[in-house]
Structure 1
Amino acid sequence: MKKVTMFVSKLVAVLAVLLVSGVTFAESTNPKQSHRFVVLAPHIVESMYAIGAGHQIVGTTDYADYPVEAQQIPRIGNYARIQIERVIELQPDVIIAWKTGNPPDDLARLQQLGFEVVYSHPEQLEDVASELKMLGQLTGRSQTAEQIATDYLSELDTLKRKYANATPVSVFYELWSRPLRTVAGNAWPQQQVALCGGVNPFMDAAEDYPQIGLESVLEQQPQVIIQPTQHGESAIDGITWQDYDYLSAVANGFIFHPNSDKVHRMTTRMLDELSILCTHLQTARDFYAQQDK
């Protein structure tokens, strides 16, 4: 009986290995893995590399700088203009564009020329997962993309549940200093602030990235100020908040500098900075709770 049991166990193990190997082999021999892509936004480039398809990118736009290997990809334009002649020279199988971040007239021209244009259009934090799956299908890497997407949603859900009932703390988000702009509505950073239990006094502005006056911020007396910078350091061109030491955020040292690339790009790396942001807001929350006692 023991021999039969051992035989069955070994058979199951072998079948499991064959099943996984079969899926892996099918994916590795998928002809889509040899397709050439022009990718027109930094966040799409990051996600392509995340699923193992970065080497299929033959052209991209300015500021697509992560991972380091992406810096070697030929540049064919920026958010304002695409060099259509260069795209024609590269002859990509597919162009992946950012629906709200690329010039629509150039994209329309490329479609008229017969190029297949697929759009990235993440609007909610959860959409990073669906974007990964879409890229997995395009590049023949669905299995890898599905796993990364599942892990991403799991980590995001953990953060959501952790701060779902957090005591509100008022937050001002300095998106840009000249002119002074913040976030509101459904803006990508606004969703992150809200998830962490932050309350934005400009949440109900008419647009997602409104221009505001400094006086309006000072009147609101925010408990926390978020000032994203490229490498998470002090902002050289940002507002010098230390000049306004009567603000609660300034007086108590709650000015935080998250990495702008991580928080502003719709990729899995956003979770790293989001977790840190939530921790910072919790520190401020605990401090103010003690002050109120």
Structure 2
Amino acid sequence: MSAARLAPRLIALTVAALAALAAPGAAGAAPVRVVDDQRRTVELAQPARRAIALAPHAAELVYAAGAGDRLVGAVRGTDYPPAARQLPSVGDAMQPDPERIAVLRPDLLIGWQPAAGAPLAPIAARLGAALYYSDPRTLADIPAAIEQLGRLFGTEAQADAGAAALRARLAALAARYAGKAPVRVFVQAGTDPLFTLNDHSIVGDVLRLCGGVNVYGQAPILAPQVTLEGVLAARPDAIVAGVDGTADAAATLRAWQAAGVPAALRGHVYGIDADSLYRPTGRLIDAAEQLCARLDEARG
């Protein structure tokens, strides 16, 4: 490579090195202390520099907090934003590989639920890494989660701005759909067998925001298995399903029409991108905006 072509790269590397020294988390940075979604106090001597996201939603939230460049690993299925697909894999979200984690030398592990993360506690302790659980349960929890991650990484300015924007969008939806006529909704969360979600799920929170009434909202478990006969008896005005593209959405509509469900025969089967609908991230607000608009169609 010629000197003329090499010089700009050397300058860029020098600037990047200087920026890294000045960035949050450099020597002399203040200690960090936050409370995670399991009400555990999590402490770091300085903002995290090398984090591993142990759930796809966690990686997405880290990017939203302006700290995507601090991620050094993630689990399979981590695919958003597109840059996250390039992160080294540490295995499956429910069974991450301790050896792969150790090789990446993290100072922060971001888990989802204790059931999945419990075996990681001794690993985190051995590596001197903090363990933070991220488990947003409501729409309001999503901007709060972004703010918390901003504190963990020292990226508060970007995180707080992003969180404020999401809260403004949620407030706009609440104002727009307050007082709307209720729409009875069946949520198709899985097929073969058929599953749905109750009101304690974050999707239930979306339905409430949009003026939807979950026909299985009072089910005793979060994701109950149901039958076609049960759905017919519940008489939903609309069916909402997480789908993978337009072809899947069309197939879902045809399946419900073939089953003779009145809502489907009226065309009120609405496919929403599954990752956007089921991951507790900023994209769920995108899904909420779409869902609210579609339920307005069902109102007529």
TM bucket, shorter chain = 0.7 to 0.9
| Pick aligned residue for 2:123 from 93, 110, 118 | 110
Q: Which amino acid aligns with 2:121?
A: A
Q: CA deviation at 1:236?
A: 8.4
Deviation at 1:206, TM superposition (A): 0.4
Counterparts of residues 4-15 of structure 1 (less than 5 Å): none
State the aligned residue count: 260
Q: Are 1:152 and 2:166 matched, yes or no? A: yes
Q: In the alignment, is residue 58 of structure 1 matched against residue 72 of structure 2?
A: yes
Preserved contact between residue 36 and residue 57 of structure 1 (Cα < 8 Å)? yes
Pairwise CA distance, 1:112: 4.1
Q: Give the AA of the match of 2:256.
A: W
CA contact (8 A) 1:60 1:74 kept: yes
Cα pair 2:276 2:287 within 8 Å, conserved: yes
In 2, Cα distance between equivalents of 1:43 and 1:28: 29
For 2:188 and 2:146, the matched residues in 1 are separated by 29
In structure 1, which of residues 203, 206, 218 is the aligned counterpart of residue 220 of structure 2?
Answer: 206
Task: From 122, 134, 137, give the equivalent of 1:123.
Answer: 137
Distance 1:187 1:127 in 2: 12
SS in 1 for 2:198: coil
Q: Structure 1: any 5+ residue segments left out of the alignment?
A: 1-24, 288-293
Q: Letter of the 1:241 partner, please give it.
A: W
Aligned partner letter, 2:111: A
For the pair 1:30 / 2:24, whether they are aligned, the reply is yes
For 1:146, the aligned partner's letter is: D
**Structure having the larger proportion of residues in strand:** 2
1:64 positional shift = 0.7
CA contact (8 A) 1:177 1:238 kept: no
| Cα distance, 1:65 vs structure 2 | 0.1
Q: 5+ residue gaps in structure 2?
A: 1-18, 26-45
Q: What TM-score do you get using the length of structure 2 for normalisation?
A: 0.81
1:193-235 per-residue CA deviation (whole Å, 9 max, x = no partner) reads 1211111121110011111111100112211111211235425
Q: 4+ residue runs of structure 1 moved beyond 3 angstroms? A: 25-28, 235-239
SS in 2 for 1:160: helix
Task: Verify the 8 A CA contact 1:40 1:61 in the aligned structure 2.
Answer: yes
Match of 2:287 in 1: 273
Whether contact under 8 Å (2:52, 2:73) holds in the other structure is yes
Hey, what's the Cα distance between the residues in 2 that align with 1:265 and 1:272? 11
1:181 maps to 2:175: no
- Per the alignment, in what secondary structure is the counterpart of residue 258 of structure 1? strand
Establish whether residue 135 from structure 1 lines up as the match of residue 154 from structure 2.
Answer: no
- Give secondary structure in 1 for the equivalent of 2:160: helix
Q: Which SS does the other structure have where 1:234 is aligned?
A: helix
Q: TM-score scaled to structure 1, two decimals?
A: 0.83
Give % identity. Answer: 32
One-letter amino acid of the structure 2 residue matched with residue 244 of structure 1: A
Task: Give, in whole Å, the separation in 1 of the partners of 2:109 and 2:136.
Answer: 17
Q: CA RMSD in A?
A: 2.2
Amino acid aligned to 1:281: L
Higher-Rg member (1/2): 1
